[in-house]
Amino acid sequence: MMKPLPLSRAFTLLEPGPVVLVTTRSATGINVMTISWTMVMDFTPRFALTTGPWNHSYAALKQSKECVIAIPAADQIDLVVGVGTCSGTETDKFAHFGLTPLDGQFVKAPLIKECQANIECKVVDIVSKHNIVVLEGLAAYVDARRPDKRTLHAVGDGTFIVDGERLNRKRMMRSKIPPGV
């Protein structure tokens, strides 16, 4: 079940660089894309992603100025690859991949029930020259009961790195950790 995550912690979902699913809603319905080209820009939180007119979701992002970033886990690799290798122009991806759309609080784009975390976002700017979409996170949710929480990191050659061990340097990093994290 999706439970709220303090917005001050939402950037920690994207900072490690996982491959994510991005959902949109347009006049033609809901859609989802796989994307690896994302970046944290601020703790507020603010994110960037690179996409453009070649991508079916781009028109919906531009029109609706909203999306949801959903974080899949390692056991969802075939979902990630499947969503990333077909187009919303010919496939109803939510139906095809058995995804359950959930209503958010702030945006019309759906959360994905099967993902371990979701972030509702509004588009605050599009830097067309570079195909960069700048997003602000409005609300974040995590499903703490999901057993596999390891995320996937796309390499770009058809392989994916799964999260391994976690190292703790909280004491050394104290001066750099923002409040509320």
* Alpha carbon distance, N-terminus to C-terminus of the chain: 22
Work out whether 153 is an interface residue with its own copies (CB under 8 A). yes
Task: Name the residue nearer to its own copies (CB basis): 24 or 51.
Answer: 51
Phi, psi of 20 (to 5 degrees): -130, 165
Work out whether 176 is an interface residue with its own copies (CB under 8 A). yes
Work out whether 123 is an interface residue with its own copies (CB under 8 A). no
Closest C-alpha among 7, 8, 4, 23 to residue 68? 23
Alpha helices in 97-151 (DSSP H): none
Nearest-angstrom CA–CA distance, 178 and 170: 12
Least distance (Å) from its own copies to the CB of residue 84? 7
Work out whether 59 is an interface residue with its own copies (CB under 8 A). no
The single residue among 5, 11, 73, 114 that binds its own copies, judged by CB under 8 A, is 11
Q: Which span (58-66, 75-83, 92-100, 103-111) binds its own copies, by CB under 8 A?
A: 75-83
The single residue among 29, 41, 58, 108 that binds its own copies, judged by CB under 8 A, is 41
Work out whether 102 is an interface residue with its own copies (CB under 8 A). no
Burial class of residue 72 in the structure, from the number of CB atoms within 10 Å of its CB (0-12 exposed, 13-18 middle, 19+ buried): buried
Closest C-alpha among 9, 20, 71 to residue 44? 9
Q: Which residues bind its own copies (CB under 8 A)?
A: 9, 11-12, 15-18, 36-43, 48-50, 74, 77-78, 81-82, 84-85, 125, 127, 129-132, 134, 150-178, 181
